[in-house]
Chains A and B, each alone.
Chain A
């Protein structure tokens, strides 16, 4: 009898081990070992022994929120004798989560691939064998109350639930949810921060420039905001002292916060960003409508460029450059000349007439006509 069993095992085990080596689908594209997710040596379907949330770096949602229903009815918990199921406005919450960690705030355990709903991991029955993670009811409430309690200060069940027998009609819930969409957030133009340092007490932060000029997304800076930053029930909580390190952290992804203090800190209110005064290159004439990224192509933040025209316009020649675009149409004699004959400086600003003409100078005498 025993020998027979051993024989069966000898047949099965190679297949099992072979199966383990092939990680299928999305898993194969990941740099993973079994132990990243599983706590035991040979996970099985019955006992996958998946570790409790060890994979924060992997969590990712690839699906756009518009693919999901706008409103979910949460009715997977069987025991609903007191309250009726919550009609959860998924879209509204997804939009609100934009500043607070995004989808991952709730889908906190989503490996790349399909979106995992709460009930895929959390069991719907409270009486269960695996107590290492909350059951579905606990998971929902822990997730919801974390924010709800923070901004409203209330733990009243009827904020989300309706008492059984006192439900409103489905249509009123839908229209109610429409009203409950978060209003557009008004962004400030500039904010003045007071620093505690002796020199450079003032940091003038031009919020509008960071959005419009430097085209940052809200979530580039506001990635982990709590609702209570605006909806604080206890105002004293928001004036908590934050260490310098944390304050600098947000700016340090673009600005050098280690040494170049004076670029942000000054003793008086600083003006807005001026390309000419900061870099010496005037954008106002020809480059004012360009996106920053047209010239600053480096993806690792903004870097200074050589201010010669050739840095960007290396392909310009006598044939393909239309002098008209500078506001001056060259006359026949001058249009034959090489650029360098008149423009001695590499900035191609002021032409030099004296090399050929003793009695002429720019701008009193023009080598053509002003364009209209």
Chain B
């Protein structure tokens, strides 16, 4: 947002407009690099293993230069009294749900950006500040953002957060799947620190196989559902749980990609650039009619 002057933005918009007219025979797509790589990575979160130590929260803050308290302070379990959401200062949080029935342990669920395969934020962003990367991460580019916060409205998981507290150069913050670390061959910070290996990092396809393998090996332990396999067209982060996902506050979402509806309308209206041309044609027609009428009036006036 910072380095984007009004002039630059108008230039890019004009370029995009020109580009669109150029390729108007192909429908526009959500992401610039929208072809999903078959080797894209993901994380399988096994909530039945998580002990709620919150080391991932600490590692995430440390890796993203957000102010973190001492690692020992994360042993404090009183934070679980309230349900928390990721925000601009905490990109991932762990929530705890009390043990139910015969269960021995409470269920701990890590929450962060799901890194959708068909991300609504990428689709909603009018300046292309969001992108879905080859390795599966959905990342945000501060140079382009104009702070419209459409991404926050669009996200089916309500993940992107805005630095409302900052007057100057506020940013949109969300989990970036540790893009800066993974591109150097490192693991995401949360995956690396997790003592229990609740978080298994691997190729998304392999993780889905692993998840189903686990379910068939331990049918008593897991519900027969991998959250994120099909939700909103699939997500890079996948979850296994021992009880119904909606009890753990996972939103009930269909299998259609979130941008599907909005893009269909938008792309329908703007297909082949017909509506603008039609609108201008209409204006042109009205103007032409008016011109004719004025000429007629002139003629009539001259006659008299």
Residues of A within 8 A of B71 (CB): 82
Assembly CA distance A155 to B187 (angstroms): 24
Give per-residue flags for A146-175: 1 if the beta carbon is below 8 A from chain B beta carbons, else 0: 000110000111100001000000000000
Assembly CA distance A126 to B71 (angstroms): 21
With known contacts A79-B192, A131-B200, A157–B104 Cβ distance under 8 A: no
| CB–CB A126/B75 < 8 A | no
Give per-residue flags for B180-223: 1 if the beta carbon is below 8 A from chain A beta carbons, else 0: 00000101000110111100111000110010010001000000
Assembly CA distance A149 to B104 (angstroms): 10
B28, CB-defined interface residue at 8 Å:
no
The smallest C-beta distance from B242 to any residue of chain A, in angstroms, reads 14
B49, CB-defined interface residue at 8 Å:
yes
B102, CB-defined interface residue at 8 Å:
yes
Q: Which of B187, B195, B207 is A141 in contact with, Cβ under 8 Å?
A: B195
B53, CB-defined interface residue at 8 Å:
yes
The smallest C-beta distance from B274 to any residue of chain A, in angstroms, reads 49
| CB–CB A131/B75 < 8 A | no
A142, CB-defined interface residue at 8 Å:
yes
Stretch from A132-140, A298-306, A315-323, A326-334 forming part of the interface with B = A132-140
Assembly CA distance A138 to B187 (angstroms): 15
Assembly CA distance A237 to B77 (angstroms): 21
With known contacts A132-B213, A155-B51, A126–B195 Cβ distance under 8 A: no
Q: Which of B105, B196, B206 is A131 in contact with, Cβ under 8 Å?
A: B206
Assembly CA distance A145 to B49 (angstroms): 9
Query: Which partner residue on chain A sits nearest B186 by CB separation?
Result: A127
Residues of B within 8 A of A138 (CB): 194-197
Interface residue ranges of B139-189 to A (CB < 8 Å): 185, 187
| CB–CB A131/B191 < 8 A | no
Assembly CA distance A150 to B202 (angstroms): 30
The smallest C-beta distance from A138 to any residue of chain B, in angstroms, reads 3
Q: Which of B49, B52, B185, B191 is A126 in contact with, Cβ under 8 Å?
A: B191
The smallest C-beta distance from A341 to any residue of chain B, in angstroms, reads 70
A52, CB-defined interface residue at 8 Å:
yes
A276, CB-defined interface residue at 8 Å:
no
Q: Which of A52, A142, A149, A156 is B105 in contact with, Cβ under 8 Å?
A: A149
Residues of A within 8 A of B72 (CB): 158, 163
| CB–CB A131/B102 < 8 A | no
Assembly CA distance A155 to B80 (angstroms): 14
With known contacts A79-B192, A126-B192, A134–B51 Cβ distance under 8 A: no
Q: Which of B105, B195, B197, B213 is A157 in contact with, Cβ under 8 Å?
A: B195
The smallest C-beta distance from B21 to any residue of chain A, in angstroms, reads 46
A240, CB-defined interface residue at 8 Å:
yes
| CB–CB A155/B213 < 8 A | no
| CB–CB B104/A137 < 8 A | no
With known contacts A155-B51, A158-B72, A127–B187 Cβ distance under 8 A: yes
Residues of B within 8 A of A228 (CB): 104
Give per-residue flags for B95-128: 1 if the beta carbon is below 8 A from chain A beta carbons, else 0: 0000000101100000000000000000000000
Assembly CA distance A158 to B102 (angstroms): 29
The smallest C-beta distance from B121 to any residue of chain A, in angstroms, reads 28
Query: Which partner residue on chain B sits nearest A148 by CB separation?
Result: B51
Size band of the B side of the interface? 20 to 34
| CB–CB B196/A145 < 8 A | yes
Give per-residue flags for B43-75: 1 if the beta carbon is below 8 A from chain A beta carbons, else 0: 000000101110000000000000000011001
Query: Which partner residue on chain A sits nearest B75 by CB separation?
Result: A156
Residues of A within 8 A of B194 (CB): 138
The smallest C-beta distance from B117 to any residue of chain A, in angstroms, reads 20
| CB–CB A131/B207 < 8 A | yes
Give per-residue flags for A279-290: 1 if the beta carbon is below 8 A from chain B beta carbons, else 0: 000000000000
Query: Which partner residue on chain A sits nearest B207 by CB separation?
Result: A131
Assembly CA distance A126 to B198 (angstroms): 12
Interface centre among B52, B71, B195 (most CB of A within 10 A): B195
Residues of B within 8 A of A149 (CB): 51, 105
| CB–CB A150/B104 < 8 A | yes
Residues of A within 8 A of B202 (CB): 131
Assembly CA distance A156 to B73 (angstroms): 10
Q: Which of A52, A158, A163 is B217 in contact with, Cβ under 8 Å?
A: A52
Query: Which partner residue on chain A sits nearest B55 by CB separation?
Result: A157
Query: Which partner residue on chain A sits nearest B49 by CB separation?
Result: A142
Q: Which of B52, B197, B213 is A137 in contact with, Cβ under 8 Å?
A: B197
Query: Which partner residue on chain B sits nearest A138 by CB separation?
Result: B197
Residues of A within 8 A of B196 (CB): 138, 141-142, 145
| CB–CB A237/B191 < 8 A | no
Q: Which of A126, A139, A145, A240 is B51 in contact with, Cβ under 8 Å?
A: A145
Query: Which partner residue on chain A sits nearest B198 by CB separation?
Result: A138
| CB–CB B197/A126 < 8 A | yes
The smallest C-beta distance from A15 to any residue of chain B, in angstroms, reads 33
Residues of A within 8 A of B52 (CB): 155
Assembly CA distance A131 to B238 (angstroms): 15
Interface residue ranges of B247-285 to A (CB < 8 Å): none
Assembly CA distance A139 to B194 (angstroms): 12
Query: Which partner residue on chain B sits nearest A135 by CB separation?
Result: B197
Assembly CA distance A145 to B75 (angstroms): 15
Query: Which partner residue on chain B sits nearest A228 by CB separation?
Result: B104
Assembly CA distance A26 to B187 (angstroms): 40
Give the interface of A toward B (CB within 8 A): 52-53, 79, 82, 126-127, 131-132, 134-135, 137-139, 141-142, 145, 149-150, 155-158, 163, 228, 237, 240
18 contacts between A and B (CB under 8 A): A82-B71, A126-B191, A126-B192, A127-B185, A127-B201, A131-B207, A131-B210, A132-B210, A134-B197, A135-B197, A137-B197, A138-B195, A139-B197, A149-B51, A149-B105, A155-B52, A155-B75, A156-B75
Beyond known contacts A141-B195, A145-B196, A158-B75: 14 more, CB 8 A cutoff: A52-B217, A53-B217, A79-B192, A126-B192, A127-B185, A131-B201, A131-B206, A137-B197, A138-B194, A139-B197, A149-B105, A150-B104, A155-B52, A157-B195
- Nearest 8 CB-CB pairs, A to B? A138-B197, A141-B195, A131-B202, A155-B51, A134-B197, A141-B196, A155-B53, A156-B75
Give the interface of B toward A (CB within 8 A): 49, 51-53, 71-72, 75, 77, 102, 104-105, 185, 187, 191-192, 194-197, 200-202, 206-207, 210, 213, 217
